[in-house]
Amino acid sequence: MKRLRPWFLLVAFVAFSILAIRLFIRLTDDRAQDFVQWGYGDEGERAELITVQRDACPGAPFILPTDGFIGLLYEDPNGPYSSFAPHQGIDIFSNASPGVSPVYAAYDGYIYRESGWRSALIQRIPDDPLVPGRQIWLYYAHMADREGNSFIVPALPPGTAETYVQRGTLLGYTGDYNGNSLRDIWVHLHFSIVLDDGEGRYLNELEFANTLDPTPYLGMPLNHACREQSMGCSPAPDCRQN
């Protein structure tokens, strides 16, 4: 039997060490422990993690579009994301079955729904409330069941364009649709802020560089670098400015 080469053993050791370190961080990180509590806890334990914020936080223009456990944060490197391709928005997990938890417009703007979109809407905000003169887009996703049956309100069918809604307007309900992926997901809303291409269209939301940190827009510590175990309004939500 051939002996393993030293370089192969070194590579294997380094790879194992990296995995062990990442596992240790996940097990000792409060946010990672919150995921365990959400996934395996009883109703009372899950209720402790839920954020309900129907009104805008002081000084913030947006409302939280749905109630739930704000699990994955902006710039979050935890799986299925990584430090090289972090999360582009926030995921708000629902303590309910698909099609139950309502999703509301976070701000005044114009709704679009592409013809092939089963679970998603995007909202044009002509004038960024934090950067006047800049156009931005708000993306709402996973509003359908696993088979793709939509939970978006009938008033916003595929092909919708330039339909004006006010902040707080019902858009649909959270679901667990994940496209053609074989990976099951928990019931949630993915919410992100997407940059405009300068010609009146939204950029590719899947690319992190095309998105904005929702922290100042919602007045909550929603960046992974500023994560807190208890999520809610904060007078200084962006820890990086302190």
In 31-153, DSSP assigns E strands to 69-70, 90-93, 102-104, 109-112, 121-125, 136-141
Res 116: pLDDT: 95
Res 14: pLDDT: 63
Res 224: pLDDT: 92
Domain ranges of the chain: 8-49, 56-223
Helices 6-28 & 30-40 angle (0-180, nearest 10):
70
d(CA 156, CA 149) in angstroms, rounded, equals 14
12: exposed, middle or buried (C-beta count within 10 Å: 0-12, 13-18, 19+)?
exposed
Q: Which of 202, 152, 207 is nearest to 177 (CA)?
A: 152
**Kind and range of the H or E run holding 46:** helix 43-47
CA 60 to chain CA centroid, nearest Å: 18
d(CA 20, CA 133) in angstroms, rounded, equals 47
Q: Which of 91, 96, 176 is nearest to 142 (CA)?
A: 176
In 49-100, DSSP assigns E strands to 69-70, 90-93
3-state secondary structure of 116: coil
Mean pLDDT by 10 residues, the chain (242 residues): 59 61 52 82 89 95 97 89 92 97 99 98 99 98 98 99 99 95 90 98 98 97 85 85 54
Which residues does 198 contact at the CB level (< 8 Å), separation at least 6?
Answer: none
DSSP state of 226: G
CATH number, span 56-223: 2.70.70.10
